[in-house]
């Protein structure tokens, strides 16, 4: 893994500083986030990150490839195209993404009306689910991007999908579905007002949504005694 020291690096032996040398630049973890559920083309990555310029994205992708976080691959179908996918080192950043998501969910000032990508909505659900030990498949169509969230005794498993199917399905914009899942809109109100389309048993859908209580999205306990503040 080749780490360039260009003035943006910390030049410390600390493991945390070393990690930030690799993935601490602006946009980097958002690129990793978008690739967590599988390979994407350049335009697909850019569409999932609000405000990033094409030249900055290309530079970050080159840096991440150089440091071994991702690699390029030719995807055979439906049309052969160059795509980016995470290496094992990149996939190992999931606990980092998960912890940031869970921590951010408990902090004041979050605006659910700002841009969210389909992938970020799905990853957030995989990060914070803590409800009943349900076993079901929930399908999602978020502005045409298809996903499946499978619960196996309450354990969430995420994947991209080619079609919308499941015991429950949710269709809408990423923001609309996100706010139906997390609030402030009740699920029944979201459905009634057309913000989200839900198929399946209404009671099961409510039990599923109840599992995404952001008040339970706390971080893991520290392996030491925290000083009271």
Separation CA 171–CA 122 (nearest Å)? 13
Residues 122 and 71 in one domain: no
Structure tokens, 58: 């290309």
Domain contains 191: yes
Which pLDDT belongs to residue 81? 82
The alpha-carbon radius of gyration of the chain (Å, integer) is: 19
Which domain does 58 fall in, by range? 15-92
Calpha distance 18→69 (Å, rounded): 14
Q: Give residues with Cβ within 8 angstroms of 160, minimum separation 6.
A: 37, 38, 145, 146, 147, 148
Give the number of other Cβ atoms within 10 Å of residue 71's Cβ. Answer: 14
CATH of the domain at 84: 1.10.10.10
Same domain, yes or no: 113 and 202: yes
Predicted local confidence at residue 1, as pLDDT: 52
Can you give the pLDDT at residue 32? 98
Per-residue pLDDT of the chain (229 residues; tens, 9 = 90+): 555 545 578 889 999 999 999 999 999 999 999 999 999 999 999 999 999 999 999 999 999 999 999 999 987 766 678 999 999 999 999 999 999 999 998 889 999 999 999 999 999 999 999 888 999 999 999 999 999 999 999 999 999 999 999 999 999 999 999 999 998 778 999 999 999 999 999 999 999 999 998 876 666 677 777 666 5
Domain-embedded: residue 153: yes
Q: How far apart are CA 75 and CA 40, in angstroms?
A: 9
User: Is residue 172 situated within a structural domain?
Assistant: yes
* Dist CA 209 CA 197 (whole Å): 14
Indicate the residue among 92, 120, 146 that finishes a domain.
Answer: 92
Quick check: is 201 in a domain?
A: yes
How high is the pLDDT of residue 79?
65
Structurally, the chain folds into a number of domains equal to 2
Domain match, 80 and 132 both:
no
Q: What is the pLDDT of residue 218?
A: 64
Strand, helix or coil at 198?
A: strand
Structure tokens at 164: 């919308």
Residue recorded with tokens 């408990």: 106
| pLDDT confidence of residue 208 | 96
Q: Based on the domain organization, do 127 and 42 belong to the same domain? A: no
Residue 76 is predicted with a pLDDT of: 74
**Is residue 1 a part of any domain in this protein?**
no
Give the global pTM. 0.90
């Amino acid at each position: 893994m080749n780490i360039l020291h260009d003035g943006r690096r910390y030049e410390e032996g600390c493991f945390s500083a070393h990690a930030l040398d690799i993935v601490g630049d602006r946009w980097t973890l958002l690129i990793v986030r978008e690739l967590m559920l599988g390979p994407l083309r350049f335009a697909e990555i850019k569409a999932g990150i609000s405000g990033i310029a094409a030249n900055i994205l290309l530079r970050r992708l080159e840096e991440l490839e150089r440091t071994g976080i991702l690699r390029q691959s030719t995807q055979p179908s439906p049309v052969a195209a160059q795509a980016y996918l995470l290496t094992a080192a990149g996939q190992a950043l999931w606990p980092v993404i998960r912890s940031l998501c869970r921590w951010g969910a408990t902090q004041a000032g979050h605006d659910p009306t700002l841009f969210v990508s389909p992938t970020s909505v799905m990853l957030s659900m995989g990060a914070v689910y803590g409800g009943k030990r349900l076993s079901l498949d929930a399908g999602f169509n978020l502005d045409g991007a298809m996903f499946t969230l499978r619960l196996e005794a309450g354990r969430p498993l995420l994947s991209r999908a080619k079609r919308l199917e499941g015991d429950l399905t949710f269709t809408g914009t990423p923001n609309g579905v996100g706010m139906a899942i997390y609030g402030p809109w009740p699920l029944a109100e979201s459905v009634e007002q057309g913000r989200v389309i839900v198929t399946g048993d209404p009671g099961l859908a409510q039990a599923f949504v109840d599992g995404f209580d952001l008040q339970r999205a706390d971080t893991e306990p520290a392996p030491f005694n925290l000083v009271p503040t």
